[in-house]
Amino acid sequence: MKPSRPGPLVAAIAAAVFSTTAAAFPTKPIRIVVAYTPAGTTDILARVVGQRMSEAWGQPVIVDNRPGANGNIGTEVAARAVPDGHSLVMATAGTHGINVSLYRKLAWHPVKDFAPVSLVAMVPNIMVVNNALPVKSVQEFIAYARANPGKLSYGSPGLGSTAHMSMELFKSMTGSNVVHVPYKGSAGVLNDVMGGQIAVTIDNMPPYVPQVRAGKIRALAVSTAKRSSAMPDLPSIAEAGVPGYDAGAWFGLLAPAGTPRAVVDKLSAETARILKLPEVSKRISELGAEPVGGTPEQFAAFIKSEIDKWAKVIKDANVELQ
C-alpha cells in the first residue's frame, strides 16, 4: 500500500509556515563560524558579508573563530548548531572539499551535515618558481622536472592545504616528480622560494603577488580555469599546457542540515545581493579573490565535484592524516 500524499490543505499550511519562518528571519543575532584564526581570508570574508547582513536585517552578525585541526574543530561546532539559520559556517576548500578524504575519521560530513547557502569567493593559487630555476613557462617547468626527477622540491603551508593538493594534482596530470616540503604557513614557503631553498609552489595568491611584481620570484601561471583579475596577463595552468587543470581556494556559506529551505533561500538571496555591491566586490578583489554567488543547488553540486576531485588526488598521492 502506497503512503498517502499530503492533501492540499496540509501542503498549504506547510507553505504558510515556511513563508512565515522566512519572513520573520532573523529573530536574533547570527553567528558565522570561522574554523581558522582571525585576519585570514576566511575570517575577512565572513566579516565583510556579515557586516552587510547586519546592516540589512538589523541584527548583529558575530564571527566566531574556532581554529584547530585543519578546520575540523570549528566545522564540527557549526554542524552541531541549531538548524534555524542563525548559525552558519564560512566553509573552505579544505573543510568541505579535502578533509573528508584526508582524515580517516571525521565527526561531521561535508554533505550530510550541512545545507549549502552560497559560494562566496574563489581565490586562485599562483604557480611561482625561484629566479634561479631556468624555466619561464609551465611547459618549460614540466620538461625540466621530468628531466630531473626527484631533484626539485615544492613547498606548501601544510599537509592537506590547497597548495599541497594543487601541486599533487599538477604532478598527477603532468607526470612530474617533485618532492613535497610542508611548512607552518605561507610565509616560510615564500621566503624559501625567494631564497632558492625550494624550487616551486602553487599557493594562495595574496602574499606572492607583491614579490612577483618586485621581481623577487617568477610567476608562471594561476591555478584556476580562468585568469585572475589581479594578474590578468598571467595565463592559467590549463591554457599554459595542462588542459583541464583547475584548483584553488574557495569560500562559501553553509547552514546546519535541517535548516528550513525558506531560510536558506533568504540567506542565499541576501548573500547574492551583498556580493554585487561595488564596495564589497572591491574589497574581495583586494584579497586576490573573485566574488561568485549562486544558488544553493549550484553550491551543493560544486562541493560534491570538489570532494570527488580531491579524493582522487589524495588517493593517488597516498596522503592520509589521523
pLDDT, tens digit, 9 for 90 and up, residues 26-80: 999 999 999 998 888 899 999 999 999 999 999 999 999 999 888 999 999 999 9
Enter the C-alpha cell of residue 105. Answer: 575519521
CATH 3.90.1170.50 fits 8-123+248-317, yes or no: no
- Please report, rounded to a whole number, the percentage of residues in the chain having pLDDT higher than 90: 75
Q: Predicted confidence band at 230 (pLDDT cuts at 50, 70, 90)?
A: confident
124-222 and 8-123+248-317 share a CATH fold: yes
Q: What is the pLDDT of residue 14?
A: 45
pTM of the model: 0.83
Domain ranges of the chain: 8-123+248-317, 124-222
Count of alpha carbons within 13 Å of 74, Cβ hemisphere only? Answer: 28
Cα–Cα dist 145/75, whole Å: 38
> Using an 8 Å Cβ cutoff, are 125 and 153 in contact?
no
Closest CA to 267 of 77, 21, 25: 25
Q: What is the pLDDT of residue 2?
A: 47
CA dihedral 250, 237, 234, 301 (to 10 degrees): -30
Closest CA to 318 of 200, 154, 159, 94: 159
> What's the mean pLDDT in 231-236?
94
Residue 305 has pLDDT above 80, yes or no: yes
Q: What is the pLDDT of residue 40?
A: 82
Residue 7 has pLDDT above 60, yes or no: no
- In sequence order, the β-bridge partners of residue 168 are none
Cα–Cα dist 256/9, whole Å: 29
> Using an 8 Å Cβ cutoff, are 99 and 106 in contact?
yes
Q: Predicted confidence band at 20 (pLDDT cuts at 50, 70, 90)?
A: low
Closest CA to 22 of 241, 217, 262: 262
Answer CATH for 124-222 from 3.50.50.60, 3.30.930.10, 3.40.190.10, 3.40.50.720: 3.40.190.10
For 243-301, how does the pLDDT look when each residue is reduced to its tens digit (9 = 90+)?
A: 999 998 999 999 999 999 999 999 999 999 999 999 999 999 888 889 999 999 999 99
> Burial code of 44-63, b = ≥16 C-beta within 10 A, e = fewer?
bbbbbbbebbbeeeebebeb
